[in-house]
């Protein structure tokens, strides 16, 4: 008999891990990472192939979290992108 999983337990956050960003429980993989891959056009199945220690259920839970909190996560992704571009420009200045 298969054990039922409470999907609410698949995503968690802790101030000690990635500054409190939501992660897939028991991993260091952030929902932000899954959302970024998804926004680049990868399917859930392709994300599992890219990060093979994740299950399809974990990826779908992260995608559900992303869609439920899309404005917040998209804002975080935009901030991360802007910060990366700023650092790249600063590095090129040297």
Show me where the domains of the chain are located. Answer: 11-92
Give the span between the Cα atoms of 73 and 65, in whole angstroms: 9
Q: Looking at the domain that runs over 11-92, which CATH code has it been given?
A: 1.10.10.10
45: number of CA atoms within 13 Å, CB side? 0
pLDDT of residue 5 exceeding 90, the answer is no
- Rounded CA-CA distance 20/8 in Å is 17
What is the structure's pLDDT at 89? 87
pTM of the model: 0.87
Q: Tens digits of per-residue pLDDT, 21-77?
A: 999 999 999 999 999 999 999 999 999 999 999 999 999 999 999 999 999 999 999
């Amino acid at each position: 008999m298969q054990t039922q999983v409470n999907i609410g337990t698949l995503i968690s956050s802790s101030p000690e891990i990635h500054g409190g960003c939501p992660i897939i429980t028991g991993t260091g993989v952030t929902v932000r990472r899954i959302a970024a891959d998804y926004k680049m056009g990868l399917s859930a199945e392709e994300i599992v192939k890219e990060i093979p220690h994740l299950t399809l259920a974990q990826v779908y839970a992260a995608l559900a979290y992303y869609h439920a909190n899309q404005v917040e996560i998209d804002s975080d992704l935009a901030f991360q992108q802007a910060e990366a571009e700023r650092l790249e420009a600063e590095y090129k200045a040297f």
